[in-house]
Amino acid sequence: MDPDEWGATCRPVRVVHPVRLDPDGVTGPTRGQARSVKWRRASRGLYVPSGVQVTPEQRAAEVAAALPTGGQLTGWAALRLAGAGYFDGLAGDGLTRLPVPVRIPHETRREIPGARVIRTTAPGPAVFRQSLPCADPETAVLDQMQLAGSGRAAVVVMDMAALARLTSIRRVRDRLADDVRRRGTRRLRWALDHACERSRSPRETLMRLVWELDAGFDRPLVNAEVIDLAGRFVGVADLLDPVSGVAGEYDGANHRTRARHRSDEERRERFQAVGLERFTVVAGDSVSTQVARMTAARSRARWLPPGQRRWRVA
């Protein structure tokens, strides 16, 4: 599975590092220049040219400029700078900007505008990305999981970091075991138990969790490649229950094009031809609607033993 194909990775935007006032106007703006429309204040005493675009990476850089000695970017900011595409610093509505998570030494009491501060007594060594001090991927994932609004949101964090190939569930679990001072470990362990390294999008992860937690069905295969008995490719199922013979798919906005719709219909026909029952989840479907579709698909499914199926997993 190529993570680039699914937007899981990105090329981090180059940042412009904030600068301090310079009476000579060489390394930074003069006091008078800083008051003009050509500059904007990034944080106290630090400025960037007003034309600099406020990207997720730039937001992180401007907060990082105000970090005390030993401070690090973490959470979504560190993951974004490492090239994880799904971590854009926005809330679930796609509009609200989340604070930039940072780790600072426990004894430091400095306020950092725009930051979500995590205080630590034992900060690990920083990983520098674009000269910005960042927590390592495992720590950044655990911090973002801890800041997530729910256990399911924490699962999404782990899934998307794994999809970007920044880390693995095993490595994050090992780091959690070593972090004896971390709070909320019960929820973090629960999220890691429900995480999957084959999910291709946050919505796929949430659909899988509805299948397991709300519908109460056994854990399915994720993005499984299905072939017929002659070895011919049938399709990739976002979610596959091999026991009942049910395949599920999440239809996002990228499924709305004519070409993608045609491809989806052809795949549906191929699944049907080998005896797989199918259901579809689309944006906006409530949990109860999803459960109803999943349950109905299982009731229509053939439940054939392996020897009688006309399909198998590649």
What is the per-residue pLDDT for 256?
A: 53
Which is higher by pLDDT, 24 or 258? Answer: 24
pLDDT beyond 80 at 116: yes
CA–CA gap between residue 102 and residue 73 (Å, rounded): 4
Which pLDDT score is estimated for 255? 47
Lowest mean pLDDT among 4-18, 79-93, 280-294, 299-313: 4-18
Task: Say what the pLDDT of residue 282 is.
Answer: 94
Instruction: State the Cα torsion 42-48-49-53 to the nearest 10°.
Output: -70
Q: What average pLDDT does this structure show over 200-228?
A: 97
| pLDDT value at 142 more than 60 | yes
Look at residue 43 in the predicted model and tell me its pLDDT: 87
- Among 107, 142, 144, 139, smallest CA distance to 126 is for 139
Q: What is the pLDDT of residue 265?
A: 84
pTM of the complete model: 0.92
pLDDT at residue number 4: 53
Give yes or no for residue 5 having a pLDDT over 80. Answer: no
Among 112-126, 209-223, 279-293, the range scoring the smallest mean pLDDT is 112-126
| Cα–Cα distance for residue pair 277/293, rounded to 1 Å | 11
Examine the pLDDT at 259 and tell me if it is beyond 70: no
Q: How are beta strands 72-73 and 100-105 bridged, if at all?
A: antiparallel
pLDDT band at 239 (very low <50, low <70, confident <90, very high): very high
**Token pair in block for residue 4:** 């680039």
Please tell me the predicted confidence (pLDDT) of residue 292.
98
Report whether 302 contacts 266 (CB < 8 A). no
Share of the chain above pLDDT 70, in %: 95
Phi and psi at residue 138, to the nearest 5° = -65, -45
Residue 258 has pLDDT above 80, yes or no: no
In the predicted model, what is the mean pLDDT of residues 62-88? 96
- Mean pLDDT of the 199-227 span: 97
End-to-end CA distance of the chain: 14
Mean pLDDT for the stretch of residues 125-145: 97
Confidence of residue 289 (pLDDT cuts 50, 70, 90): very high
pLDDT for 33-45, tens place per residue? 999 999 999 988 9
Record the tokens describing residue 173, joined without a space: 């679990």
**Please, what is the average pLDDT of the chain?**
93
Mean predicted confidence (pLDDT) in 28-34: 96
pLDDT at 254 over 60: no
Residue 155: per-residue pLDDT: 98
- Looking at the chain, the whole-number percentage of residues with pLDDT higher than 90 is 84
pLDDT at 302 over 60: yes
Place of tokens 């996002």: 252
Query: Which of 5-9, 50-54, 253-257 is the least confident region?
Result: 253-257
pLDDT band at 108 (very low <50, low <70, confident <90, very high): confident
